[in-house]
Structure 1
Amino acid sequence: MNQINRFRIIGFLEGSSLLLLLFLAMPLKYWAGLPEVVTVFGSVHGGLFIVYILFTIYTTITVRWHFIWFLSAVIVAFIPFGNFILDKRIRLSFQ
């Protein structure tokens, strides 16, 4: 498995954790009165986000990505479904 594929897996995990936080944990907090769900999912997402950013830096250095790829990878981490769109672009560009 090459570095790009490892990056794609981390991106998928981070993007999925954001979606679970936004569309599962947050509604459970406000509609079902379960704030502890956000605590758990938020902690998992925060950890995955840190790993994702570190992996983005590492991938940029090892693959010698152009700065635009690095910047795109950081920006999409804040947009729901953004990692999946970037993943498709990476798949088309690097494989």
Structure 2
Amino acid sequence: MLKLLPVFRVVALLEGVSYILLLFIATPIKYMYKDPQYVGLLGMPHGILFMAYVVIAVLISSDMKWPTRTFWIVLLASIIPFGTFYVDKKYLTKSGRAKH
């Protein structure tokens, strides 16, 4: 399953970017300018990326030998803005994995 690690890193990046765009650009436009089209455009791809992030995290957790606490941090990071970037740096890169 470590073959999924590069895929997980890309999904984590895209999920994080889509979440930031949704929260800080699309949602304010929706409520300030009464224009929901950007939420509609970003919502579905973000939802798919979020689900892919969770599924791949579950699949690679045992191969990565994550303790339960780390696994939950990785999952919770997907609902915190910029969280997936933190996970990538701390748990998915070679320098981050060497520390754990």
Normalised by the size of structure 2, how large is the TM-score?
0.82
1:94 aligned to 2:59?
no
**Deviation (angstroms), 1:13:** 0.9
Determine the structure 2 residue equivalent to 1:10. Answer: 11
Cα distance in 1 between the residues matched to 2:90 and 2:64: 16
Count of matched residue positions in the alignment of Structure 1 and Structure 2: 95
Letter matched to residue 66 of structure 2: W
User: Matched residues, percent identical?
Assistant: 33
Unaligned 5+ residue runs, structure 1? none
**Deviation (angstroms), 1:2:** 4.0
Contact 1:3 1:63 in 2 (8 A): no
Name the SS of the counterpart of 1:64 in structure 2.
coil
Unaligned 5+ residue runs, structure 2? none
Cα distance in 2 between the residues matched to 1:51 and 1:85: 18
Determine the structure 2 residue equivalent to 1:75. Answer: 76
Normalised by the size of structure 1, how large is the TM-score?
0.85
Cα distance in 2 between the residues matched to 1:19 and 1:8: 17
Contact 1:11 1:83 in 2 (8 A): yes
Instruction: Give the number of the structure whose residues are more often helix, by fraction.
Output: 1
Spell out structure 1 runs of 4+ moving beyond 4 A: none
Cα distance in 2 between the residues matched to 1:4 and 1:48: 15
